[in-house]
Amino acid sequence: MAYTRATFNLQELLEAVQALRAAVEETQQTLLRKWRPHLKNRTFISSATNLAAYVGLRRHDLRALQQQLATLGLSSLGRCEAHVLLTLDSVIHVLQHMVGEARPAQHIPDSARAIGRDQALLKRHTGLLLGDAPQKRWTRFMVTLPSEAAEEYLYVRDLLVRGMDCARINCAHDNDAAWRNMAGHVRRAEKETGRPCKILMDLAGPKLRTSFMAAGPAVLHLGVKRDERGRVVQHGQVILDASGAPGCGAAVNKIGQRVPARLSVPAAWLDKIKAGNSILFEDLRKRERRLLVAERLSPIEVLATCEAGAYIGIGMTLRHQTKRNKDVDATALSGDFIPPAAKIRVFQDDMLLLTREDIAGKPEKRNAAGKVIKPAHIACSEAGVFDFLKVGQKVWIDDGRIGAVIEKLDKQGAWLRITRARQQGEIIGAEKGLNFPDSKIVLPILNDDDLNALDCAVEIADIIGLSFVQSAEDIDKLSAELHARGKRDMGIVAKIETPAGVRNLPEIIVHGAGRHPFGVMIARGDLAVEIGYDRLAEIQEEILWLCEAAHVPVIWATQVLESMVKQDIPSRAEITDAAMAERAECVMLNKGPYIFNALDVLDSVVSRMQHHQLKKTAQFRALHW
């Protein structure tokens, strides 16, 4: 049904709203007959009834009708998500009075009470899934736990103190033992702090990723940072390690902290080294280099710095020079170290083979003239994906950072032509996301790894997060597995990150909330890649509206205050995004070195914004200009 912009008289306007209500109710009843077998949870029946009405309402273009109603100072239906038919009835009631039709005066208070009950359902369902709200804010905070949370109890306790209401354990990483340690730390912190905290275990699901990479050359690179004039502003660092363990390159740990490189050296040689001494060597480029010993960290560890970049190989001669003696005091050979993973660098218009074989990824091979004689290749984590690929389809790598198109399919795999990469090229690593937005890929929602993780999750978690939910049947499969494990009432969060998931969201909600405490996560990372970044804002609004109509909570996730979490400096856009996230019932932060500061900022933003907005409604608190 569409409404023209022709001017309505009051009687025509009343008849138009009455006709709309009849059409909405007809759709509502049709959907309820379809949904009724899945409504095992009786407390969700009224919410499903309203959701069906909302679906019926949004099948019409109401813009002209809304304009007419707003002109008269009536509800324009723009805030009716949680109580569709009641809002229509209230509008009809007022219009009937305006045209002179007598109506019972009791209608308005009855309608107001009913609307209040509907609004309370969202709070009730949110509490069942995510627990009670904190005292000073309605929105809960979820935080992804890093691997270090399995060992560092104080880190977990501090997260609760700073405002974490739900801990997310990503089952795509770590293992059963680590997950149990994390959960144990959360439960202990709950008791010590007096703050409740739910645990969500996020099953990896059919997430497509690049597979493992081959080892790169056995070279340890020590880098320095320079300013625009070439002056050193940050020295390179290396830990001389006599523990006997192999050395390794500099890295960033799971909570985003930079860890210096390690170089294995003999213990007897290291014993003689003191702060202020120098270590001289010739690097792989035949350049004389010097390490300055900064401090002794332990009996078997010494921290040293370098003023110039260097490339160190295994078995390189290291010459110890004391502070007073300019002669070499003693020499040693650098020990073995773990070579870094090979780096595949691709440029626009390069060819890249996505191989069918489960083999390590390798860079391209070039001849003496620099011509590529064998393109780079990477493997996909799921071999079954090739059954759904076609020539000409788009492929996105690493959350859309690298774009490609399938140019050829053969026995080796899919040959990708790189269509999007920065001028300096892009690095492809292991376990980076692969998205095929043009391909209708159908893979099992739960694989063997997911089922093994589920065995652990039902013992230690409160909520199961299901990734890449595309249909109601996906929810049914998880529900059946939970039932088989004696957890029929366990909470479920459906992560929406594909066009199919958006398209089938009403049925996904009904099948989930019809049996379990239930919520929806707007997983904006993969969702943006799958539907296109330009549509993300539109689609996340639609998800918020639909979930409000069903009175189910929403989790706003992916890159919330990302710059703040990783670099301690939020962008202006991220602050605005965090403010808009207040409309969801829960906001998720990912791990990073400045997560505690990010929690403080998020708490400040959300606590302020809840005085200005409630879902889509502006709250007019007093302002002082």
Output the pLDDT for position 113.
76
Q: How far apart are CA 104 and CA 97, in angstroms?
A: 10
Residue 370 has pLDDT above 80, yes or no: no
Q: How far apart are CA 619 and CA 606, in angstroms?
A: 14
Output the pLDDT for position 570.
92
> In this structure, how many other beta carbons lie within 10 angstroms of the beta carbon of residue 71?
12
Mean pLDDT to the nearest integer, 538-552: 96
Report pTM: 0.86
What are the tens digits of pLDDT across the range 485-519?
999 999 999 999 999 999 999 999 999 999 999 99
Parallel, antiparallel or unpaired: strands 261-264 and 251-252: unpaired
For residue 173, what are the contacts with CB-CB under 8 A and spacing of at least 6?
Answer: 147
Residue 106 has pLDDT above 70, yes or no: no
Output the pLDDT for position 7.
47
Mean pLDDT to the nearest integer, 178-190: 97
Mean pLDDT to the nearest integer, 146-168: 95
Output the pLDDT for position 586.
97
Output the pLDDT for position 431.
87
Output the pLDDT for position 484.
96
What are the tens digits of pLDDT across the range 397-417?
998 899 999 999 999 999 999
- Region of residue 116 (left: phi > 0; alpha: psi -120 to 50; beta: else): alpha
Residue 281 has pLDDT above 50, yes or no: yes
What are the tens digits of pLDDT across the range 49-67?
999 999 999 999 999 999 9
Closest CA to 478 of 208, 201, 172: 201
Output the pLDDT for position 253.
63
Interhelix angle 472-484/448-460, rounded to 10 degrees, is: 60
What are the tens digits of pLDDT across the range 331-352?
888 888 888 888 899 999 999 9
The answer to which of 116-120, 480-484, 515-519 has the lowest mean pLDDT is 116-120
DSSP, collapsed to helix, strand or coil, labels residue 293 as strand
Output the pLDDT for position 5.
46
Distances (CA, A) of 624 to 24, 608, 620, 621: 43, 15, 12, 10
With beta carbons less than 8 A apart as the criterion, state whether 382 and 358 touch.
Answer: no
What are the tens digits of pLDDT across the range 240-267?
999 988 888 887 665 556 788 899 999 9
Q: What angle do CA 45, 50, 51 make, to 5 degrees?
A: 95
Mean pLDDT to the nearest integer, 196-209: 93
Mean pLDDT to the nearest integer, 519-525: 96
In the chain, pLDDT over 70 holds for what percent of residues? 95
pLDDT band at 321 (very low <50, low <70, confident <90, very high): confident
With beta carbons less than 8 A apart as the criterion, state whether 332 and 237 touch.
Answer: no
pLDDT band at 374 (very low <50, low <70, confident <90, very high): confident
Residue 588 has pLDDT above 60, yes or no: yes
Output the pLDDT for position 103.
67
The pair of structure tokens assigned to 257 is: 């902290």
CA 510 to chain centroid, in Å, comes to 24
Distances (CA, A) of 133 to 124, 166, 413, 563: 11, 11, 50, 27
Domains of the chain (ranges plus CATH)? 10-129 (no CATH), 136-205+443-618 (3.20.20.60), 219-333 (2.40.33), 346-435 (2.40.33.10)
Output the pLDDT for position 6.
43
Q: How far apart are CA 293 and CA 307, in angstroms?
A: 12
Distances (CA, A) of 41 to 432, 498, 513: 39, 27, 7
The pair of structure tokens assigned to 492 is: 């479920």
In the chain, pLDDT over 90 holds for what percent of residues? 71
Q: How far apart are CA 350 and CA 369, in angstroms?
A: 17
Mean pLDDT to the nearest integer, 436-465: 94
DSSP, collapsed to helix, strand or coil, labels residue 613 as strand
Q: What angle do CA 440, 445, 448 make, to 5 degrees?
A: 130
- Region of residue 69 (left: phi > 0; alpha: psi -120 to 50; beta: else): alpha
Output the pLDDT for position 1.
57
The pair of structure tokens assigned to 512 is: 């989930």
